[in-house]
Every structure is written in C-alpha cells, then in structure tokens.
Amino acid sequence: MKRIGSDYQGNNQCTFRVWAPEKERMVLDIVLPQPQRIEMQPEAEGYFYVEVSDLPPGSQYFFRPDDQQSYPDPGSRFQPQGVHGPSEVVDPAAYAWQDAAWRGIPLPEAVIYELHVGTFTPEGTFEAIIPRLTELADMGINALEIMPIAQFPGRRNWGYDGVFPYAAQNSYGGPEGLKKLVDACHVAGIAVYLDVVYNHLGPEGNYLSEYGPYFTEKYCTPWGNALNFDGAYSDGVRDFFVGNALYWIEDFHIDGLRFDAIHTVFDQGALNLWAYLYSKVHQLELKLGRTITLIAESDLNSPHILKKPEAGGFGFTAQWLDDFHHSFYAVLDEKEGKKRYGDFGRMDQIAKAYTDGFVHSGEYVSFRKRKYGASSAGIPGDQFIAFLDNHDQAGNRLLGERLSSLIDTERLKVAAAALLLAPYVPMLFMGEEYAERAPFLYFIHHSEPELIKMVQEGRKEDFKSFSEDQAHVDPQDEQTFRDSILHWEERTQGRHELIRQWYKTLIGMRREIPLLQNYCKNDVRVHVIDESGYVLFRQNDSGQEHLMAVFNLSTQDISYTVPPLEHTWKKILDSKEANWLEDSQASPAIDHVYDKTLLTVSPWSVTVYQSQPERV
C-alpha cells in the first residue's frame, strides 16, 4: 500500500504522492518557503510522485491536477489555514514519544469515555484535556473515545463534516497537539480510541472529486453519493481510507478506531472494505506488538459485523449496542421515552438486552415497517459497547438535552447501575459521570451562506414533528456551541458530586468484583417483576460466586421473594441509603437476606447483594 500525501524523510527531503487515476498531469505547487512549481511523475495504479530537496517542515503547498486550479492535498497532514488553505509538511519524527512501555488496555477491562474536544474544555484543544486526565483516571475511566478530529470547516463542528481524513483539526492543536494528548493518556493508563468517518465527507472543502472517482452514484447515503469502494478505480479509494486507519494507529499511537455508521458504507466486492481493513490492521498489530480495537457503529443488528472475515464477517472487535440504550430510555423518560422509541418500553425487552444483546432480532418492528435484526445471543458481552447517552442521543434532540436533564436523580442512579452492572463494556458520554447540565447541541461553522441556510432548514425539518411550538436553535450561531461547553467546575457540587461518587462506586465495583468481569451471557439471568422492575443475576464462570441487583423502575413499592440458594446475600449498595440521597427520606433495604425472604423495594431504586457462603 502506497503512502500518500507529503512524507517528510528528514534532512529537508520530502516525498509527495497523490492518487488521480484519470488525470494526465500533476503539478506540486509550493507556496512556502519559496514559490515553485514542480512536475510530478506518474506511477502505476494512477498515482503521481515526486521527491523534493531543500524543503523543511512547515513548508506549504497545493496540487494542480492537469495543471489547472490548485487544491489542497487530499492526504494532507495539516491544514493550518483551514479547509481551503494550503497543506503543510509535517515532520513525523519531531515529537519525542514517552509511551514506549505502553501495550494498551484489553477491551473487556475498559470503561470508555466519549468526548468532543471542542466542548470538553473552555479552550477546546487537545492539550487542554491533559490536566483533566488525572480526574478521569481516578474515576476509573481508562479509555477515551474521541469524536472525529479530521479537519473540518471553521472552528466548531461535531467532526462529522471532516474533509481531510489525515489532518488533525487545526483549531484543536493540529497533529502535535493530538500526539501530546495521546502520549499523556498512555502515561495516565488511558487508551485512546478515535472516531473516524469512512461513509461520507463534509460538503465544504471537499475536493476529492477534483482528483479522482472517490464517489459513486451507484449508492446513496443520507449525505449524498456514497464513497466508491467497489466500482471502477475503487482500489485507490479503499487504500486511501484503509491507509488512513493505519496512519492514526502507527503515527499517532492510537489504540483503536470507532467507525461511524458502517451500514452506509457499500461494498459488494469479494473482499469487502472491512475484511481488507481487518487484514491490514492485523499485519500492523504484529509489527507494533499491541492489540488494536476496531469498534463499529451499525444500524443492522447483525452478528455478521462481529464475526472474523474467515467466517464471512467484517472482523470488528465490538459494536455499539443501541438497543440497550433504547430499552432503558423508553422506560426512564415517561414523558418522551415511548414516543421516541415506540418499539421499546417493556421489561422483557430490558431482560433481553441483558441476556442477548440485540432486542430486535428478527421480529416485526413498527418503526422500520419490516422484520429486523438477527439474534446475538451467542456473542460474548465484551463485543458490545453499552451506554445510556452519547453525542447522537443528546445532540439529535431539538434542545440537546442530556439524560441528566431529562430525568431526576433517583432515576439517574438506577440507570447508571443498570449500565455498569451489565455484562457489556460500558461507555459514558462526557459529563455523564457528574450529571452535567449543559446541553450538547448540534453546531457548525461553515463559510458558505447557501450551505449554512441548507443546514438550518434541514434541522428545522428534522424536528418538525417534535417541535411545533418551540423555537429552533441555530447551529451556525457561536452561542449554540458555547452553550454546549461542559461546566466541569461544578462536578464536586451538590447533585453533581452525589452522582459523581455514585458512578465512581459502581465503576469501582466492576474493578473489585471479579464476576462483573465475566462477559459470558450464559451466566446472566434476569427475572422480570411485572412491568415494574427486574432482578439481575450475575455469576462467575464456575457458578460459585453470585451477585443480585434488584431494580424498581416504577413509582410504587414492589416485592420480590429471594429464590432458594445455598448462601446468604449481603447488601453492598443501596440507592435509598441516606448517603445516596439529595433530600428525601432514606428507606434502605435489608442488609442481609436469605432464601424465600420477601424483599420490598422502594420506587425508582436499586439494591445490590453479593453472595456469602454462610449465613450471618
């Protein structure tokens, strides 16, 4: 696989390579330090190449396909002046890494934290995150999932409008800032997963079509024509994006990648894009001596995503488990839960989310107007990422409300326990761990008036059925972005501190209780109590250790008779004890319970018991 873009070799020597299979000529148009135009030489498979001397790091350039208009490098490593400006030569050896001993975090041990660089701190940069790593590590968080950082237009964006997949966003601190962050994370014992977008590029600054047939009219996505992964000239497109994945892993020491909406990536080739990517990443793993995590966002509810290519699958390590979120949200938010997720909201679906994974596994689904999904019952829990909130769930609401703004403290505690006691790899959305009050709104910073208007009108149309009597938030307005910045300083105050300690306690339990690290679904049972609650049973693989969590998801007391077992249950966590309450009266459950004990459980509460071999 050829390395595209500028590749600095040291001693002011730099090579340049660009893929443009239908172009007859390519000119390297250097603008700094001294303007010059250099003819590039054609190579096999549609590439053009040139090696240049006396060109130091920091030099800036364009390419001129067929010696016509100049455009930035599709494989640019840095866009210091934004998406329309020149590309810059970067010295990959200039940064002195400090993480030589780092070997990563096994995914089953991960507690993932999704964050958006621009709104995580007031500064909105990679380096501004570093001082907060100690606090995150102290919480028990050991993996960051960073929303896309490929260069996008302007200074503010979710990142899914990126147009230079190889260039770390300039306003975040560029490639050097990203390397500093990754290095600091590894020193703190935190893995870094990067969200990448291989299903589309943003509209502004997207110059790929000026170079070659990157897109196809054969398929259509929500963002327009799909990327050309299986048509004529698709080899170059596949190598461009697979090379991008390898670039982040090797040059930036990234521990894994999260792939956006893979169901909108179309490839009917014998060796599809994901199997090709898997093989190249596996080769790189052997070279680097560390495991790389590949996480899919998929709307298919298909176990095919998680099978190895030799078994006919795509080879992803894990995938996001949307059904877990939907099952709980439909019950947690009585006002809008079932309105938004009408095919969810039953206790047996919550039970299935725990014991199987996919809730919709072949049944007729009203929202989709067809049968949907396949069973995931045999897939280990550590191949699923479960969550209560994420950038989509909050940001795709009209007012960007987080779950912590939609439900009260008691429900939040129940929800957190439901997630962190589940047999899945948990993911928190930044600020979730202390009930952040700021919304996470959708924001952009485009420069083209027509495009801005299209986005504004598109958002209004998206929310038409939900917001007839509410004002719409303007995504282009800078205040929309500023309203989304975390109030980090409030995390140790009042309700925020209570929730922070609750999350820290639950994460600590995952670390300290070995059976909570057992991802075998055969060792998970759920007993449903009418439509009011459920009891979650977890055990270790030998069946010698047990945990019982009783959840009341209703406004009334519920009762449950403890099944006969040869041990005593000792209470280890109770959301209704005084130290976990804001101001209401404590109503704790019994400290020790035995077989056939009738437990009465308070409204919206969770009580957790661990087995003891003998009665006390």
- The answer to whether the annotation marks 445 as part of a ligand binding site is no
Q: Do residues 227 and 217 make contact, with C-beta atoms less than 8 angstroms apart? A: no
Region of residue 357 (left: phi > 0; alpha: psi -120 to 50; beta: else): left
- The answer to whether the annotation marks 323 as part of a ligand binding site is yes
- The answer to whether the annotation marks 333 as part of a ligand binding site is no
If you ran DSSP here, which 8-state letter would residue 210 be given?
G
- The answer to whether the annotation marks 395 as part of a ligand binding site is yes
Cis peptide before 148 (omega within 30 of 0): no
- The answer to whether the annotation marks 228 as part of a ligand binding site is no
Terminal CA-to-CA distance of the chain, rounded, Å? 66
The amino acid at residue 114 is E
- The answer to whether the annotation marks 260 as part of a ligand binding site is yes
Tokens, residue 545 = 């250790």
- The answer to whether the annotation marks 36 as part of a ligand binding site is no
Element (H, E) at 49: strand 47-52
Q: Which residues, listed in sequence order, are joined to residue 7 by a DSSP beta bridge?
A: 15
- The answer to whether the annotation marks 378 as part of a ligand binding site is no
Which residues, 6 or more positions from 61, have their beta carbon under 8 angstroms from its beta carbon? 6, 16, 28, 29, 30, 31, 32, 73, 86, 87, 89
- The answer to whether the annotation marks 259 as part of a ligand binding site is yes
- The answer to whether the annotation marks 69 as part of a ligand binding site is no
**Beta-sheet pairing, 143-146 with 112-115:** parallel
- The answer to whether the annotation marks 290 as part of a ligand binding site is no
Tell me phi and psi for residue 42, to 5 degrees.
Answer: -70, 145
Residues annotated catalytic, as ranges: 260, 297
User: What count of Cα atoms within 13 Å lies in the side-chain half-sphere of residue 399?
Assistant: 12
The amino acid at residue 118 is G
- The answer to whether the annotation marks 356 as part of a ligand binding site is no
Which residues, 6 or more positions from 20, have their beta carbon under 8 angstroms from its beta carbon? 26, 46, 47, 48, 65, 211, 212
- The answer to whether the annotation marks 4 as part of a ligand binding site is no
- The answer to whether the annotation marks 472 as part of a ligand binding site is no
Whole-number Å distance between alpha carbons of 119 and 441: 10
Q: What is the dihedral of CA 594, 598, 603, 605, to 10 degrees?
A: 10
**Beta-sheet pairing, 41-42 with 47-52:** antiparallel
- The answer to whether the annotation marks 188 as part of a ligand binding site is no
Q: Do residues 518 and 539 make contact, with C-beta atoms less than 8 angstroms apart? A: yes
Q: Which residues define the annotated binding site?
A: 258-263, 322-326, 391-396
Q: Which residues define the annotated binding site for substrate?
A: 258-263, 322-326, 391-396
